Structure 1
Amino acid sequence: MSLPTYRSILARVAVAALTVAVVVGGVAFWVEMEIADALVSDLAKRESSAFLAEARDLLPGVTADRANGAKADELLSRFMQSRIKADQVGTGGIFIVAELYDPTQAKAAEYIAPGAEWAEERLKNNRHAFPAAGNSQYERFTIDGRFFIQTIESLSDRDGKLLGYFESVFQLSPEHSREIVKDTVTVVGVSSLSVLLAALVLLPIFVAFNRSVMGLSRQLLTANIDILTVLGSAIAKRDSDTHAHNYRVTILAIRLAEAMGLDAAAIRRLVKGAFLHDVGKIAIPDRILLKPGKLDADEFTVMKTHVVHGLDILRASDWLTDAADVVGGHHEKFDGSGYPRGLAGDAIPIAARIFAIADVFDALTSRRPYKEPMPFDVAMGILQEGAGRHFDPAALARFTEIVAPLHAHLTALGDDGVEGELRRLVGQYFAKH
């Protein structure tokens, strides 16, 4: 797990601040437009009521008499012109279109403010529905960057009978539009600055806390790796082995896994399994584990149970459970003749197949109390004889390509030097995890 830098934290804070600013700005814009909508909608209702009071007696005959239709145009035009000066001062805009519809929703009269003909042409493409009797509706839209509110009111007589519809289009003034934009920009700016200032104040606290947590995480990881090393070494020593064998086998397994293209997560699992592959031997009686001669059939049956014991031990730790592939599969053989499950081929986890090659190679080429190290060429010959039977032939072929210089390097390091080499290599895979 890598420690975030000041730059990365600032970038995250900046993104968060901009996100908050956009949201707040959007809310501010919505509130401003809702205020304008409510203002214009109330104004339109008042205007339609006033027009209805003047034209109530005329409206029933509009559709039946063309002369009444002409009178409706004249009345609507006169009414709108007179109302503009009287009622629209301080409303932040002007009515530019007013239309009268009969109960069948056919247009009976219209008023277009001087110079607003372009708006009527554009509005022809803006289809709308009509509200139910006694209701109203409005819609906000923009044309060429200007805000408009279209309101439709139903007109009824004193008995509630539908007489028609009154439609009006209100254009917000440039001043009001600029005011909305200004308010929105102000809110966005203030909110952004506030969030950034708060983030700058809290940034040192975040970084200090993050460093503290990361320090503890590294200490915990180091402790876990130390436990792996100590436990693996303890088991190796009990088995009359040396801890250096565990170190070399783990290094060999890591390098082979790298050569085969395994990802970092898979290599971390392999490392845990390599350290703990024989952890189950702690449950094997000394008379069997330390017997100098060959085990008989019953003793070998007991010895094989160390795999099951090892898996049982791993279940006690969530951090170690992913070592199960190696612990449970390092005695399986490619032809299916291994134990404990008799897995064959690709059914054997790749980490176990890799470890088996590294484990046998180091056992052959290392000095033990009961034998001298086997020459490199002889050891490789034995491995090649096991290709396809004991070992995965593809993995063995890749191992053959890389092992000579690697073996020479580990031999030159000696038992004392391989521990430092292993810690450096393991650190590469666990330090950022």
Structure 2
Amino acid sequence: MPSTESFAFSDLLTVAAWRRSWVLRVAAASLAVALLAAGVGGWLARRDRAEELQAHWSAEIDRVARSAQGASGPASAQAARLVADLMELGFDAAAVLDAQGRRLAYQGPHADDWLRQPPTLADGRAATQAVGVIRRTVPRPHGEPAWTVHALRTLAPLEQRLLQRDTTREVLEGALVAGLAALLGGGVTIPVLAGLWRDNQRKTQALAGSYLSTMEALGRAIARRDSDTGAHNYRVAWMAAELGQALGLDPEAIRSLVLGSFLHDVGKIAIPDRVLLKPGRLDEEEWRIMRTHVAQGEAILEGIEWLAGARQVVAAHHERWDGSGYPRGLAGEAIPLAARIFAVVDVFDALTSRRPYKEPFALAQALEMMERERGRHFDPAVLQRFLELAPGWHAKLQGLDEAQCRALLHAQLRRWFDGHAPAASAPCTPG
């Protein structure tokens, strides 16, 4: 059966494709992480810059206010001096309010507007335009009630450009670090995942090989029990898969068809020798017993999940298109497609191969006999496709011994079972 070595080349190709796929995914994820980091980092950087500027200018207001405390004159004059000093520092507007909230002095455009509804540092975007209104409580000497200073500061165009440059640099650096970290993490992870994937593939292939070896052993046991060689099972399984592919079955259905074809007569193991090996014609009672091999086969496969799909062939390979078959008398498309396919290749192989009780029929004679069963024994559409392909198959199979038929089937199994353990079930698509 297919070994691990027989899958090596396709395994390498699959791993390579898998790696390429994951490299692209990791690269895309790294780009997404970098863009996300740029967006979040930019927002945080701008907000941090704004907070730094607020802290700086708050300290400037405190410094100017301390200097103004020693000024002489009435409170209004001291407040006016404080406002003037703030304007000289570059503030766009400033106001001093007493403890009751009355304005003692203010300067700047639209001072009334921003005092009634002052702009605030709502988010980091203000860092490139306005730091907002800075409010500071200014102590007064001699226990007098404290003043409140409101000062509005915006950035000059040059300051905005410098701040934008610094912020952009920090954002790009953060995005680059985040992207490289994601890329590095993916680069480290991919080889590990690839190794795990290869190990899983090897185990899957070994499991598939053990399943197929079990199938082959059962098939040989059936053949020996029926005083036949295993060549029949190899031939019909090979032809069934070829015909299934020609009819457009999906790979899972073909795998089930192969299993069912190889094990179609597994129930004959339970038929008594006096019936199974009788050299002459069977009487009515013996035929009744012989026909139970279908139910016996279903019972043998019952509960074996990986052979669930094979039960379609085992259960229905003696049904006939016109409903005259057994055991259920199914007709037409009520018969599973896998069983309809197998019925055609099984009869063809029986007609064209040598048996202890007969010589093989010539190809033309066998095909003529099968043509007469169109619409009676066989699905007309399945038979038609088979008749188109049968001459080539007959030429290929003619004269092959059991070992050669086995090798032919194994080459086909590598195509359909490469890395695939048979699934629990695979219903065939109706024809």
TM-score normalised over the length of structure 1: 0.68
Residue 418 of structure 1: SS of its match in structure 2? helix
Residue 309 of structure 2: SS of its match in structure 1? helix
Q: In structure 2, what residue type is equivalent to 1:259?
A: A
CA contact (8 A) 1:18 1:192 kept: no
Structure 1 residue 36 and structure 2 residue 46: aligned? yes
Aligned to 1:74: none
Aligned to 1:16: 26
CA contact (8 A) 1:29 1:180 kept: no
Q: In structure 2, what residue type is equivalent to 1:16?
A: V
CA contact (8 A) 1:279 1:310 kept: yes
Mapped to 2, the partners of 1:395 and 1:365 lie a distance apart of: 19
Aligned to 1:256: 243
Aligned to 1:402: 389
Q: 1:141 to 1:323 in 2, by over 3 A?
A: farther
Aligned to 1:214: 201
Mapped to 1, the partners of 2:230 and 2:218 lie a distance apart of: 10
Aligned length: 357
Q: 1:139 to 1:209 in 2, by over 3 A?
A: closer
CA contact (8 A) 2:291 2:327 kept: yes
Q: In structure 2, what residue type is equivalent to 1:343?
A: L
**2:91 aligns with one of 67, 85, 105:** 85
- Structure 1 residues 103-142: Cα deviation after superposition (integer angstroms, max 9, x where no partner): xxxxx8479xxxxxxxxxxxxxxxxxxx9xxx98947779
CA contact (8 A) 2:30 2:180 kept: no
Aligned to 2:281: 294
Mapped to 1, the partners of 2:34 and 2:109 lie a distance apart of: 35
CA contact (8 A) 1:229 1:275 kept: yes
- Structure 1 residues 12-70: Cα deviation after superposition (integer angstroms, max 9, x where no partner): 135325414522541453254146347759999xx9xxxxxxxxxxxxxxxxxxxxxxx
CA contact (8 A) 1:152 1:168 kept: yes
- Structure 1 residues 311-366: Cα deviation after superposition (integer angstroms, max 9, x where no partner): 23333322211112211221111111222222211121111111000001101111
**2:406 aligns with one of 413, 419, 423:** 419
Q: In structure 2, what residue type is equivalent to 1:243?
A: G
Aligned to 1:164: none
Q: In structure 2, what residue type is equivalent to 1:293?
A: G
Q: In structure 1, what residue type is equivalent to 2:19?
A: I
Question: Structure 1 regions of 5+ residues with no counterpart?
Answer: 48-77, 89-96, 101-107, 112-130, 154-166
Instruction: Tell me the CA shift for residue 423 of structure 1.
Output: 0.8
Mapped to 2, the partners of 1:358 and 1:23 lie a distance apart of: 58
Instruction: Tell me the CA shift for residue 397 of structure 1.
Output: 1.1
Where do 1:49-60 residues align within 5 Å? none
Mapped to 2, the partners of 1:325 and 1:22 lie a distance apart of: 49
CA contact (8 A) 2:34 2:179 kept: no
Mapped to 2, the partners of 1:413 and 1:212 lie a distance apart of: 37
CA contact (8 A) 1:41 1:138 kept: no
CA contact (8 A) 1:98 1:168 kept: no
Mapped to 2, the partners of 1:209 and 1:186 lie a distance apart of: 35
Instruction: Tell me the CA shift for residue 370 of structure 1.
Output: 1.7
Instruction: Tell me the CA shift for residue 304 of structure 1.
Output: 2.6
Q: In structure 2, what residue type is equivalent to 1:308?
A: A
Aligned to 2:261: 274
Question: Structure 2 regions of 5+ residues with no counterpart?
Answer: 1-9, 58-83, 95-107, 135-151, 421-431
Structure 1 residue 372 and structure 2 residue 359: aligned? yes
Structure 1 residue 179 and structure 2 residue 166: aligned? yes
CA contact (8 A) 1:333 1:342 kept: yes
Aligned to 1:324: 311
Q: 1:183 to 1:14 in 2, by over 3 A?
A: farther
Mapped to 1, the partners of 2:354 and 2:110 lie a distance apart of: 104
Q: 1:39 to 1:367 in 2, by over 3 A?
A: same
Where do 1:104-183 residues align within 5 Å? 109=113, 138=122, 173-183=160-170
Residue 424 of structure 1: SS of its match in structure 2? helix
The structure whose residues are more often strand, as a share, is: 1
- Structure 1 residues 367-386: Cα deviation after superposition (integer angstroms, max 9, x where no partner): 11122112222221221111
| More contact order relative to length (CA 8 Å, sep ≥ 6) | 2
